[in-house]
């Protein structure tokens, strides 16, 4: 009986101990949670923010969110850069205070001056969908670690916070303003007209495909999309003039008779931009419509706009395209030398038996076939039918001897592109009588001359490798 009483007392003691422990643990968690919540500067989530105001020393910037995104209300009404506004929100809304620099019943003017809060760097006002708001005043002074001093609403405390509160206030209006040259949805664009330093052309979209009127060649749809995207997303560095600029200013910037003009048609509107480089200012300027603005672009964009050409949009693979899985026979001829191979099952072999001193490299043959498959037209040339002879060739056939692909090339020619001269071959495939140019280096890199090698060459190559290894070892010994 005495043992049972003792056991019950022990159990009760353990129970009380556990209860006290969990109570203390819960209180500790509550204290930590309370401390965590008390350090939160903005108490509502970022996705609820629909209004932001930045009161700076010389400017006030006001932003409002709608279903279409963020809009600038002050100091000018315009589209806002949604990404930058969201960066501002995400960068600040989750910030917590680092420490309390000053607390009291009431902050004096001296206190405010000590922390730069009498002449703040910036004052943020955040509002959310529910009508709640927070005002964060950022002092013009920083602590020795570079952190910011802030005051939340009208609290009688000065908090130490991340320097991001200070640096975000340094951003100029252009940071929050829409900076895309073309502000509309690209998917709706159905016509593009271009006049550049190199070309003048017009293309349009029919049944979802970009084409050239009165032309028998195809456009590379990806290249057209890339060109449109690069035009649209050319970044505006500065809004020089909002609205119609004066004739004198247009003349000063070289935009009276611009050498480059881009026009995009959406059906419901026609947008255009006149673009020119100002060598005196070493800047690139553009005059746009819808809206009408004189803007400054990145000078590096001049190479892109100045060199827009229709040729760069042409499909360079439609005349070199074939199904590589259909290929069962390969015939290669160049410089009076010919090679032929055939596929049995999953492996390639020479069509003619090799001599005892020769070796066959199947991996090199497969690599050569892959390179042929990946070839694209280097340059389109207006003339070449009379010069083309095409005595060198690669012929690819199916197992039934059906012709899969044939590429002929020769002789050589030189072409100057973008100030540099390169060596090419005249070339043609069986798919079209069009003569085009292939870079000489692409033909040479096919590697057919390395598929079959003699034993003497193999020994020579091995000796070279061995010599290189020996030299490497000696070099390592010297270093040691």
How many other C-beta atoms can be found within 10 angstroms of the C-beta atom of residue 204?
15
Q: Is 23 helix (H, G, I), strand (E, B) or coil?
A: helix
pLDDT at 73 over 90: yes
**pLDDT at position 27:** 46
Find out whether the peptide bond into 75 is cis, omega within 30 degrees of 0. Answer: yes
Q: Supply the DSSP symbol for 96.
A: B
Q: Is 89 helix (H, G, I), strand (E, B) or coil?
A: helix
Cα separation of 411 and 383, whole Å?
Answer: 14
**pLDDT at position 7:** 58
The whole-chain average pLDDT of the chain stands at 87
Lowest mean pLDDT segment, chosen from 213-227, 285-299, 363-377: 213-227
181: confidence class by pLDDT, cuts 50, 70, 90: very high
19: confidence class by pLDDT, cuts 50, 70, 90: low
Contact between 341 and 350 under an 8 Å Cβ cutoff? The reply is yes
Contact between 266 and 188 under an 8 Å Cβ cutoff? The reply is yes
**pLDDT at position 417:** 79
468: confidence class by pLDDT, cuts 50, 70, 90: very low
Average confidence (pLDDT) over 33-56: 80
**pLDDT at position 2:** 53
Contact between 304 and 297 under an 8 Å Cβ cutoff? The reply is no
pLDDT at 154 over 70: yes
Q: In what order do the strands lie in the sheet with 122-128?
A: 78-79, 69-74, 60-66, 49-56, 122-128, 133-142, 148-152, 157-161, 99-103
| Burial degree of 184 (CB within 10 A; 0-12, 13-18, 19+) | middle
**pLDDT at position 331:** 97
pLDDT in tens, 87-106: 999 989 988 999 999 888 88
pLDDT in tens, 322-341: 999 999 999 999 987 899 99
Contact between 21 and 14 under an 8 Å Cβ cutoff? The reply is no
More confident residue, 173 or 335: 173
Question: What are the helix (H) ranges across 347-454?
Answer: 362-374, 440-444
Question: What are the helix (H) ranges across 179-280?
Answer: 221-232, 247-253
pLDDT at 344 over 50: yes
Average confidence (pLDDT) over 307-332: 94
Find out whether the peptide bond into 411 is cis, omega within 30 degrees of 0. Answer: yes
At 234, give phi and psi (nearest 5°): -55, 125
Tell me the C-alpha to C-alpha distance, in Å, between residue 335 and each of 92, 111, 390, 395, 466: 70, 90, 12, 16, 32
**pLDDT at position 479:** 38
Average confidence (pLDDT) over 34-47: 73
Average confidence (pLDDT) over 251-262: 94
**pLDDT at position 461:** 43
Cα separation of 46 and 36, whole Å?
Answer: 18
pLDDT at 32 over 70: no
pLDDT at 202 over 90: yes
Q: Supply the DSSP symbol for 178.
A: -
Domain boundaries, the chain: 46-176, 186-313, 324-456
Question: What are the helix (H) ranges across 256-407?
Answer: 302-306, 362-374
* Percent of the chain clearing pLDDT 70 (strictly above): 87
**pLDDT at position 475:** 44
Q: Supply the DSSP symbol for 366.
A: H
Cα Rg of the chain, angstroms: 36
pLDDT at 463 over 50: no
**pLDDT at position 214:** 73
Give the tokens for residue 218: 């195809």
pTM: 0.75
């Amino acid at each position: 009986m005495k043992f049972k009483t003792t056991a019950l007392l022990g159990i009760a003691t353990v129970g009380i101990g556990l209860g006290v422990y969990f109570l203390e643990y819960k209180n500790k968690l509550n204290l930590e949670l309370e401390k965590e919540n008390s350090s939160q500067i903005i108490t509502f989530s970022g996705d609820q923010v629909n209004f932001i105001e930045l009161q700076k020393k010389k400017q006030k910037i006001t932003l409002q969110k709608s279903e279409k995104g963020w809009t600038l209300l002050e100091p000018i009404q315009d589209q806002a850069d949604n990404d930058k506004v969201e960066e501002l929100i995400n960068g600040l809304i989750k910030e917590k205070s680092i420490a309390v620099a000053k607390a009291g019943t009431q902050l004096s003017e001296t206190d405010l001056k000590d922390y730069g809060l009498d002449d703040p760097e910036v004052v943020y006002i955040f509002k959310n969908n529910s009508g709640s708001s927070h005002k964060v005043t950022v002092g013009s002074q920083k602590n020795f670690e570079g952190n910011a001093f802030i005051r939340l609403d009208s609290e009688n405390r000065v908090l130490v916070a991340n320097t991001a509160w200070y640096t975000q206030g340094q951003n100029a209006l252009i940071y929050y303003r829409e900076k895309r040259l073309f502000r509309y949805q690209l998917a709706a664009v159905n016509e593009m007209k271009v006049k550049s330093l190199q070309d003048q052309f017009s293309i349009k979209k029919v049944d979802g495909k970009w084409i050239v009127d009165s032309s028998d060649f195809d456009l590379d749809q990806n290249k057209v999309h890339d060109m449109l995207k690069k035009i649209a997303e050319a970044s505006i560095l500065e809004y020089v003039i909002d609205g119609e600029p004066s004739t004198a200013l247009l003349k000063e910037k070289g935009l009276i008779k611009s050498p480059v003009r881009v026009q995009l048609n959406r059906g419901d509107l026609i947008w255009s931009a006149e673009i020119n480089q100002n060598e005196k200012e070493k800047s690139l300027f553009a005059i746009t419509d819808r809206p009408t603005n004189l803007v400054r672009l990145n000078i590096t964009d001049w190479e892109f706009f100045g060199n827009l050409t229709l040729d760069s949009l042409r499909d360079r693979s439609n005349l070199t395209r074939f199904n590589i899985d259909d290929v069962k026979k390969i015939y290669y001829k160049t410089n009076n030398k010919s090679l032929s191979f055939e596929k049995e099952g999953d492996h390639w072999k020479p069509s003619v038996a090799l001599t005892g001193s020769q070796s066959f490299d199947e991996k090199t043959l497969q690599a050569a076939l892959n390179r042929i498959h990946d070839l694209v037209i280097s340059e389109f040339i207006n003339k070449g039918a009379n010069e083309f002879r095409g005595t060198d060739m690669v012929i690819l056939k199916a197992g039934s001897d059906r012709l899969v692909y044939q590429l002929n090339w020769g002789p050589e020619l030189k072409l100057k592109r973008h100030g540099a001269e390169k060596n090419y071959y005249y070339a043609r495939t069986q798919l079209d009588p069009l003569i085009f140019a292939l870079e000489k280096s692409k033909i040479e890199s096919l590697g057919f001359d390395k598929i079959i090698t003699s034993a003497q060459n193999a020994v020579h190559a091995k000796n070279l490798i061995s010599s290189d290894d020996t030299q490497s070892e000696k070099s390592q010994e010297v270093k040691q």
